[in-house]
Chains A and B, each alone.
Chain A
Amino acid sequence: MEPQLSWYLALSAILFTIGVTGVIIKRNVIAMFMCIELMLNAVNLTFVAFASFFQDVTGQLFVFIVMTVAAAEAAVGLGIIIAIFRNRESLDVDEASILKL
């Protein structure tokens, strides 16, 4: 059976929901960060699925942009995480709630 568009969309939705749930329930900042990446990649999957379905290269271009932004975001985010860890010796986001270091 040929893979249908809806399969990809369903997979993407599942991945996205896992990501959202992870961001909300996880306290470890690294885990939250990975969940965010998961959401981004779920969206990427949707993009390429549609690009293939519509025979349109635009969706693939968007994926590249998302990946670039995600890389930049990862660099900044990891930097912030390291700074927080150095200060607090902890990666629990609920403890970092005073809006300053």
Chain B
Amino acid sequence: MENNLLSLIIFAPLAGAAINWFIGRRVRDERFIGVVACGSVAISAVVAFYLAFMSGGALRSTTPVLDHIWTWLQVGDFRADFALAMDRLSGTYALFITFVGFLIHVFAVGYMHGEAGFYRFFAFLNLFMFSMLTLVLADNFVLMFVGWEGVGLCSYLLIGYYFDKKEAGDAAKKAFITNRIGDWGFVLGIMLTFFVTGSVSFFANPAAGEAAHTALSFFRNQPVETFTAGAIFAGGATSIAVLLFIGAAGKSAQIPLYVWLPDAMAGPTPVSALIHAATMVTAGVYMIVRCSEIFVHAPTAMFIVAIIGAATALFAATIGLAQNDIKKVLAYSTISQLGYMFLACGVGAFIPAIFHVITHAFFKALLFLGSGSVIHGMHHEQDMRRMGGLKKYMPITFATMVTGWLAISGVPIFAGFFSKDEILWKTWSAPAFSLPSTGFSKFLWAIAALTAFLTAVYMTRMMVMTFWGKERFRETHESKHQEPDHHHGPVEPHESPWLMTVPLVVLAVLSTVGGFIGIPYAFVGKDVNVIEHTLEPVVAKVGESAVAPVETHASETPASRAEAEHDAAAAGEAAHATHSSEELNAERMLAGLSVLIALLGIGAGWYMFQKRPLLQMPRLLENKYYVDEVYDAALIRPIEAGSREGLWKIFDVGVIDGLLHSIGEAVTEMGRLARYLQAGFVRGYAAIILFGALILIGIFAYLGFPGV
């Protein structure tokens, strides 16, 4: 179905960015800039909700809402359009991006109050919304890559917002360069996709003259590739999937490309909430789920995704345990939760991965904004060792952050519990499809459960250090601090203005009830899992590669569409009917176990840190396993040394400069010789002309005139 309103979703924030950049910088009125920035995102949100839920909208029918804006690239068989598509998956993403994005914009108006670069900040933030929505709503790989690079650019600009601080500039460059490595994989993946399938589109749009088969539907009738290491280099679905995953690992901060995300906290806190927690870093998950059709044909790639995801989840959680900067804790927590999502993708649980993306967007945006509120109230103090006892000064921030804390820890009824438990259950019960054996799924489950425990511990530590215990912010910290920018005296914390607390409250409510869209069958004995039913038709299932195409065409009649919907619903019921009672019991038992783990974690955290909030954590963890140092020694220094000693001193000076200099010298030398011809004697010139003429005549006389 074609609907031109769709382009308004992406172009409204672009217009907002342009207005703030060109007009806002002259007006310099915070109210004007704030209204433009929030208003443009609000327009996006309203349009997104309308297109998703109107009759025949993206989330209510199985046909995507399409908007073909223009034919962008067409070379031979290659065709990439500037076209948008909102199906159930991209619609779900667009909804939470615009909604959470709007709340964060409102928060940022309060948080950034009084900043000199106010207009610049909001222009970039709106530009980010444009890029992110382009990424999500793109109907082909190439346009998706445009959005992918756009969010990378905005991430760079916003991390480096405080560009007069070296730390922020370095962090921005680190983020940009690390992402380049991932993008290299993504680009190769796109090229290979085109090479294999002859298309880069996600959706068939015959009305706009596109080919009927797409990059994804191509794989439907292909056999599943073998589960061997050789498949990675075979140039088929597995190779594509691995390359795409390299891109996803860069954008979503997975091992080994996660190092940029903690440093990215140098940006303003709303940026961390919007880009580095809720939206951009989940783009990798989106991309993998969007390409689930490719991944379910590539068990080896899914195995890699699962292993990397599980490893990242555990690794980042242990580091998060020992950080003292409130935002660093949240950054490592984000990496860890992203690891969860990839683990889910790797075991074929694509829908729980998306579910976790959504709930994570709610509670992690809440936690980041809450930390922003704390930082704001503490006059830009981020070190938790100098906080403590803030709950009586910042009651609203405290209350909302408590819901975020309970949600991420996985306490029942809060949003994080349902999504996390779903991932744990799907990992436990994963088929051997993408794993060496079913026993391996138990191992992955153990890692995920341990991560869940650690998550509860470090979040409790963060809450205890910030909000409970002795008030440490009045103490002087001569011993710990030599930095000149921390010379302000004791601070008096205060609650943040309503512009900041209202988004916190809304997100707190969502973090509490947001999980109800995905209550599993096992808990209530009824089919109320909205998210699963919504996404089921657009996400490929492991081991069912030959399913009938659900993606329908523009030519179909309403009757056949209704039939398709009915079929999808029936399929859903059938899937639930297959639940055996043992499975349901196992799921309930595991859920009980994960509640126990969460409560144990909170208890352990409370026990360890309530009395001794400044408890010294292991140095290895506090120093992040020295990964930055290892990268520095193993990669950056050798590259620098190679560039300086080899590329610069030998290649540049010797070859490039040498070549240029010798060309110059040769010309000089020739000029010196030619100078003898210019003696200034007119008769000499005449003789030379005569000599030349005689030679020419001689040549013609000897060879004859050509053509005569």
Tell me the A residues contacting B by CB distance below 8 Å: 20, 23-27, 29, 32, 93-94, 96-99
Q: Is the CB of A93 within 8 A of B682?
A: yes
Q: Is the CB of B681 within 8 A of A23?
A: no
A32 touches B682 (CB 8 A): yes
Contacts A20-B690, A24-B687, A24-B690 given: A97-B681 contact, CB under 8 Å? yes
List chain A residues, Cβ under 8 A from B680: 96-99
A32 to B685, CA, bound (A): 13
A-facing residues in B664-708 (Cβ within 8 Å) = 678-683, 686-687, 690
CB-defined contacts of A97 to chain B, threshold 8 Å: 679-682
Q: Say yes or no: A96 contacts B682, CB within 8 Å.
A: yes
- CB neighbours of B687 from chain A (8 A): 24
Instruction: Chain B residues near A23: list those with CB within 8 A.
Output: 683, 686
Give the complex CA separation of A23 and B682 in angstroms: 9
Q: Is the interface of B mostly helix, strand, loop or mixed?
A: helix
Which residues of B lie under 8 Å from residue A26 when comparing CB positions? 683
Q: SS class of chain A's interface: helix, strand, loop or mixed?
A: loop
6 contacts between A and B (CB under 8 A): A24-B686, A32-B682, A93-B683, A96-B682, A97-B679, A97-B681
Evaluate contact between A27 and B678: CB separation under 8 angstroms. no
How distant is B708 from chain A, measured CB to nearest CB, in Å?
A: 15
A27 touches B683 (CB 8 A): yes
14 additional A-B residue pairs with CB within 8 Å, beyond A97-B682, A99-B680: A20-B686, A20-B690, A23-B683, A23-B686, A24-B686, A24-B687, A24-B690, A27-B683, A32-B682, A93-B681, A93-B682, A94-B682, A97-B681, A98-B680
Whole-angstrom CA separation of A14 from B681 in the bound complex: 26
Which A-B residue pairs are the 3 nearest by beta carbons? Answer: A97-B680, A93-B682, A23-B686
- Nearest residue (CB) in B for A36 is B686
Tell me how far the C-beta of A42 lies from the nearest C-beta in chain B, rounded to whole angstroms. Answer: 14
Nearest residue in A to B686 (C-beta to C-beta)?
A23
| Of A24, A98, A99, the contact of B683 (CB 8 Å cutoff) | A24
Instruction: Please give the distance in Å from B678's CB to the nearest CB on chain A.
Output: 7
Which residues of chain A come closer than 8 Å to B678, judged between CB atoms?
99
B549 to chain A, nearest CB (A): 77
Residue from B678, B681, B686, B690 whose CB has the most chain A CB atoms within 10 Å? B686
Task: Please give me the residue from chain B that is nearest to A23 by CB atom.
Answer: B686
Q: Which residue of A lies closest to B682 (CB)?
A: A93
CA distance A94 to B682 in the complex (A): 7
A residues in contact with B686, CB < 8 Å: 20, 23-24, 32
In which size bucket is the chain B interface? under 10
- Complex contacts, A32 vs chain B, CB 8 Å: 682-683, 686
Provide the bound-state CA to CA distance between A61 and B271, in Å.
82
B681 touches A94 (CB 8 A): yes
Cα(A97)–Cα(B690), bound, Å: 19
Residue of B nearest to A25 (CB): B683
Chain A residue at minimum C-beta to C-beta distance from B679: A97
How far, in angstroms, from A24 to B687 measured CA to CA in the complex?
6
Q: Return chain B residues, CB-CB under 8 Å to A24.
A: 683, 686-687, 690
Q: State the CA gap A95–B682 with chains docked (Å).
A: 10
A28 CB, min distance to chain B CBs, angstroms? 11
CB distance from A80 to the nearest CB of B (A): 11
* Complex Cα gap A93–B682 (Å): 7
What CA separation (Å) do A25 and B684 show in the bound complex?
10
CA distance A30 to B686 in the complex (A): 15
Chain B residues with Cβ below 8 Å from A99 are 678, 680
In angstroms, how far is the closest chain A Cβ from the Cβ of B698? Answer: 15
Minimum Cβ distance to chain A for residue B311 (Å): 79
Residues of A close to B683: CB separation below 8 A: 23-27, 32, 93-94
Smallest Cβ distance from B687 to chain A, in angstroms? 6
Q: Nearest-CB distance from A15 to chain B (Å)?
A: 15
Task: Give the contacts of B310-365 with A (CB-CB under 8 A).
Answer: none
* Nearest-Cβ distance from residue B695 to partner chain A, whole angstroms: 15
Against A, the Cβ 8 Å flags (1 = close, 0 = not) of B653-667 are 000000000000000
Q: Residues of B contacting A29 with CB < 8 Å?
A: 682
Q: Mark B480-501, 1 if CB is under 8 A from A, else 0.
A: 0000000000000000000000
Inter-chain CA distance A23–B690, complex, in Å, is 10
- What is the distance, in angstroms, from B172's C-beta to the closest C-beta of chain A? 59
Would you give the 0/1 interface string for B560-577, flagging 1 where the beta carbon is closer than 8 Å to chain A? 000000000000000000
Chain B residues near A25 (CB, 8 Å)?
Answer: 683
Q: How far is the CB of A47 from chain B (nearest CB, A)?
A: 18
Distance to closest chain A CB from B674 (angstroms): 14
Write the B131-170 contact mask toward A (1 if CB under 8 angstroms, else 0). 0000000000000000000000000000000000000000
Q: Determine how close the nearest CB of chain A comes to the CB of B632; give it in whole angstroms.
A: 63
Which A residues are CB-close (under 8 A) to B679?
97
Q: With A and B bound together, what is the CA distance between A8 and B687 in angstroms?
A: 26
In Å, the complex CA distance between A99 and B681 comes to 9
Residues facing A in B96-136 (CB within 8 A) are none
In the complex, what distance in Å separates the CA atom of A94 from the CA atom of B681? 6
Q: Mark B528-562, 1 if CB is under 8 A from A, else 0.
A: 00000000000000000000000000000000000
How far apart are A98's CB and chain B's nearest CB, in angstroms? 6
For the complex, give the distance between the alpha carbons of A96 and B683 in Å. Answer: 11
A98, B680: Cα distance in complex, Å: 6
- Complex alpha-carbon distance, A72 and B530, angstroms: 95
- Min CB–CB distance B655 → chain A (angstroms): 39
- Minimum distance in angstroms from B649 CB to a CB of chain A: 45
B240 to chain A, nearest CB (A): 70
A93: chain B residues within 8 A (beta carbon): 681-683
Bound Cα distance A97, B683 (Å): 10
Interface centre among B681, B683, B687 (most CB of A within 10 A): B683
When distances are taken between beta carbons in the complex, the residues of chain B under 8 Å from A96 are 680, 682
Instruction: Provide the bound-state CA to CA distance between A25 and B686, in Å.
Output: 10
CB distance from B675 to the nearest CB of A (A): 11
Q: How far is the CA of A16 from the CA of B440 in the complex (A)?
A: 102
Cβ–Cβ < 8 Å partners of A94 in chain B: 681-683
- Cα A98 to Cα B682 in complex, Å, equals 11
Q: Please indicate the chain B residues that have their CB under 8 angstroms from the CB of A98 in the complex.
A: 680
Measured between alpha carbons, how far is A25 from B680 in the docked complex, in Å?
16
Distance in Å from the Cβ of B701 to the closest Cβ of chain A? 14
In angstroms, Cα B680 to Cα A32, docked, is 16
CB distance from A19 to the nearest CB of B (A): 10
Closest to A22 in B: B686
A61 vs B448: C-alpha distance when bound (angstroms):
98
CA distance A100 to B681 in the complex (A): 12
Report the separation of the CA atoms of residues A54 and B686 in the bound assembly, to the nearest whole angstrom.
33
Compute how far the CA of A29 lies from the CA of B679 in the bound complex, rounded to whole angstroms: 17
A32 smallest CB distance to B (angstroms):
7
Interface centre among B679, B682, B687 (most CB of A within 10 A): B682
Bound state CA distance, A74 and B630, in angstroms? 83
Least CB distance from A46 to B in Å reads: 14
- Closest approach, in angstroms, between the C-beta of A55 and any C-beta of chain B? 20
Query: Cα distance A32–B681 when bound, in Å?
Result: 13
Chain B residues with CB under 8 Å of A20's CB are 686, 690
The docked-state distance in angstroms from the alpha carbon of A41 to that of B681 is 25
